[in-house]
Amino acid sequence: MLRYILLGFTIYFAYRFIVGFVVPVYKTTKQVKKQFNAMREQQEQYTQSPTPEPEKKPTRANKSDYIDFEEIKD
């Protein structure tokens, strides 16, 4: 009789341990892995996408930008 009671308590505590600790840890680990994978994919997309460089236009000076130089003699 005592053997069955101890077996029942063992099964009950094992169940409580699995449901109260192992299952939440498993779910949390699974969720964290998903988030890390999503962040890694996002980082890979960011590094693989070419960053557009701003177009550089050749700088030309307009004739109106220059002032004619006249030498002044004393």
72 is a domain residue? no
Q: Which residues of 14-26 are buried (b: 16+ CB within 10 A; e: fewer)?
A: eeeeeeeeeeeee
Q: What is the domain range of residue 25?
A: 1-45
Per-residue pLDDT of the chain (74 residues; tens, 9 = 90+): 999 999 999 999 999 999 999 999 999 999 999 999 999 999 998 888 776 666 776 666 666 676 777 777 86
For residue 63, the 8-state DSSP code is G
pLDDT attached to residue 47 = 86
65 is a domain residue? no
pLDDT attached to residue 13 = 97
For the chain, how many structural domains are there in total? 1
- Calpha distance 30→44 (Å, rounded): 21
